[in-house]
Chain A
Amino acid sequence: MVTSNTEEAIETLVLGLDETIATIQKAISDFDSGQRLNIAIIALPYAGKSELVDEIVKMHPHEVTKIIFSSIINSKEEISLPDNSTKIMVFDNCHYLYMRKIGGFDVIKEFLNMIRSSDERLCITTWNLHSWTYLEQVLDIGKYFPIQITIPPLNTADMEKFVLSVYEENEIQFVDDSDEKNTKIFTPVKIPITEKITHRTINLYSFRINYTALKMLLFHRKEDESTESIIFKELTNVSHGNPGVATEIWNKWLEYPLIKTSSMNSDFGDIDLDGTGAFVLCIVLSMGHIRKEELEIIMNRSHNVDEITINKILFEILNQNLIVRNDEYYSVKPEKLYVVIKYLEKIRLVW
């Protein structure tokens, strides 16, 4: 049963999340009819899961109790349900309930047990995608959440609406200033190789491909295609439809009030880290935001990495512009998110 309150709310759907919200609404109405199916909302950082949860809260203001985990939870006592909790419980950032260390699963096991035994409440939880994948393999948490929703990427049209929603009409001017003929698609690069016998360094020459320019040349250049369309297509493509990532990339490209095709650059460079550095990056990615003290607890106590090494690694990763520090929290830079994921998938630190 969908109430008139929710019917109104559905009209103001969050961009690109129509189906997702409809699924959640159906689960809530099923719960009213006696079928309890807990929900896991799974997303990458910056994909908008907290905004989705806020939307649900807005739709059911008197039925929802929202609990946000904003840092790693160390103790089981911190996750007990409040006595006055409502029929729908929303737990945001549940990936903060575990740590990838020996003894780091006690809190999340308690939480899952609490959810399992709490028959009178519907639980809506949000998770970082990589933490979820890890916990699914380690603890089989999918069994506790029959409805699993992965936030879909925005398409080009929704991306355009989302990005331009903060500007007045015609406030942004789109300029096509790219000179296709002069854009270098192949750039010669030197690759130093150490020769085996004499150990001398020899330079081999290879080509680096500018994929953005290549794609522009192959796909984007239709006679009747507007500059605006070209830019938003590329923005959606580069950001993988992730609104948070797109916002950051947009801000980098924007020379207010102009946005030029020549500013579109999706070459975010290579990552060069040792095994421990890559693991730290994996932890930062899986947690979304993490404090140095929390990293130390994970790395120092369980992985025998001392504080000096952690400082060195954080310094190195910050220098490579892969992560950013806000207050005391470290997180992957939005524009580097997919580069980091690709790198960690390549070395199989995320699965």
Chain B
Amino acid sequence: MAQVDVKTIVSNFENIDLNTVFLSFFIIIFAVILSKIVAFLLTKISEKTWKHRLDFKSIISISNVLIYSLAVYYILASVFALSLNQLVIFSGFIGAVIGFGMRNLFEDIAGGIIVTMEKPYQVGDRIEMGGYYGEVKDIGLRATRLVTPDDSLVSAPNNLIFTQCVASGNSGSPEMMATLDIYIENDSDVDLAMKIFREAVVTSRFVYICPTRPVVILLNDYPFYKGLKARAYVNDLRNEFIFRSDITQRTWNEFYKRGIKPPKTPIMNYGKTAE
């Protein structure tokens, strides 16, 4: 039975003519265009319904997998006219070829399917992957594309999820925590500095505060300086860096006005510190 199926597959492939190739090519092009249109529409809708922005974006990768899988299935089942048994045999054959010859690609695709199903991160999340940090722009079958803070597009192979830890800063939420550190002179008025720092955070136009997303200001004492740490949520993770910059700039402007200074590095300023 299996022999007959294999013979039919072989004969089907021997009978491939220009029409079959053209039709297959057309289906692939159609699938690409359809996936782009779906991605475009979902992106547009996600920007309109801001609250569920990331939910809509997460559907993009699932729709891509579905569209491409259906396209491949349609090509094999209708264009090459393979039966279910033949499809299984063909899949096994292709699987073996991929497994031996294109192991990495196969791992990437498996990784892509796992990322789509298990959602360790989604489109729109801020993640650290393969040594790169940035916003997930697209989860493809082979690679995840990240945009780094300096606007570089990084394609990280999906198989990294099998071998490396992937850190997601927001786990699907539109807001994300940002921690900011500021260091001041040891003899500064710490209470005043903490008040200013807190007010700089809570008055920022990028901050998001709610009972589960509080603003926390912490003080750390170091031998040569004091460190202030703020933990606060940025209202849209895309504003993370501008949020940090906004708070840092406004805090230091106020610190200088109120006589709070940055620490003098003992190594650089050894003589003066000794005095």
Residue positions of A touching B, CB distance < 8 A: 100-105, 137-138, 275-276, 278-279, 282, 302-304, 346-349, 351
Interface contact B235-A349, CB-CB below 8 Å: yes
Query: Which residues, 173 to 218 on B, are CB-close (under 8 Å) to A?
Result: 174-175, 196, 199-200, 202-203, 205, 208-211, 215
The CA of A351 and the CA of B211, in the complex, are separated in Å by 12
Interface contact B210-A137, CB-CB below 8 Å: yes
Given contacts A304-B249, A304-B250, contact A282 B199 (CB under 8 A): no
Residues of B contacting A302 with CB < 8 Å?
203, 250
| Pick from A282, A304, A348: contact of B236, CB under 8 Å | A348
Interface contact B50-A346, CB-CB below 8 Å: yes
14 contacts between A and B (CB under 8 A): A102-B200, A102-B203, A103-B196, A103-B199, A105-B199, A137-B209, A138-B202, A138-B209, A138-B215, A303-B205, A346-B51, A348-B236, A349-B235, A351-B208
A-B contact count (CB 8 A): 53
Query: Which residues, 224 to 265 on B, are CB-close (under 8 Å) to A?
Result: 235-236, 246, 249-251, 253-254
Interface contact B254-A102, CB-CB below 8 Å: yes
Q: How large is the interface on B (under 10, 10 to 19, 20 to 34, 35 or more residues)?
A: 20 to 34
Residues of B contacting A137 with CB < 8 Å?
202, 209-211
Interface contact A351-B210, CB-CB below 8 Å: yes
Residues of A contacting B246 with CB < 8 Å?
303
Q: Which 10 A-B pairs have the closest CB atoms?
A: A348-B235, A137-B209, A279-B205, A346-B50, A102-B199, A138-B202, A100-B203, A102-B254, A102-B200, A101-B203
Interface contact A347-B50, CB-CB below 8 Å: yes
Residues of A contacting B236 with CB < 8 Å?
347-348
Residues of B contacting A101 with CB < 8 Å?
199, 203
The closest CB in chain B to the CB of A100 belongs to: B203
Residues of B contacting A104 with CB < 8 Å?
199, 203
The CA of A346 and the CA of B249, in the complex, are separated in Å by 26
Interface contact A351-B250, CB-CB below 8 Å: no
Given contacts A102-B196, A137-B211, A349-B205, 17 further A-B contacts (CB under 8 A): A100-B203, A101-B203, A103-B199, A103-B254, A104-B203, A137-B209, A137-B210, A138-B202, A278-B205, A279-B205, A302-B203, A303-B203, A303-B205, A304-B250, A347-B236, A348-B235, A348-B236
Residues of A contacting B208 with CB < 8 Å?
348, 351
| Pick from A100, A282, A346, A351: contact of B209, CB under 8 Å | A351
| Cβ of B40 to closest chain A Cβ, rounded Å | 8
Query: Which residues, 66 to 98 on B, are CB-close (under 8 Å) to A?
Result: none
The CA of A347 and the CA of B235, in the complex, are separated in Å by 8
The CA of A346 and the CA of B236, in the complex, are separated in Å by 11
The CA of A137 and the CA of B202, in the complex, are separated in Å by 9
Residues of B contacting A349 with CB < 8 Å?
205, 235
Interface contact A304-B253, CB-CB below 8 Å: yes
Interface contact A303-B250, CB-CB below 8 Å: yes
Interface contact B205-A275, CB-CB below 8 Å: yes
The closest CB in chain A to the CB of B37 belongs to: A204
| Pick from A276, A279, A348, A351: contact of B50, CB under 8 Å | A348
| Cβ of B115 to closest chain A Cβ, rounded Å | 24
Residues of A contacting B254 with CB < 8 Å?
102-103
Query: Which residues, 118 to 169 on B, are CB-close (under 8 Å) to A?
Result: none
The CA of A174 and the CA of B136, in the complex, are separated in Å by 56
Most chain B CB neighbours (cut-off 10 Å) among A102, A138, A346: A102
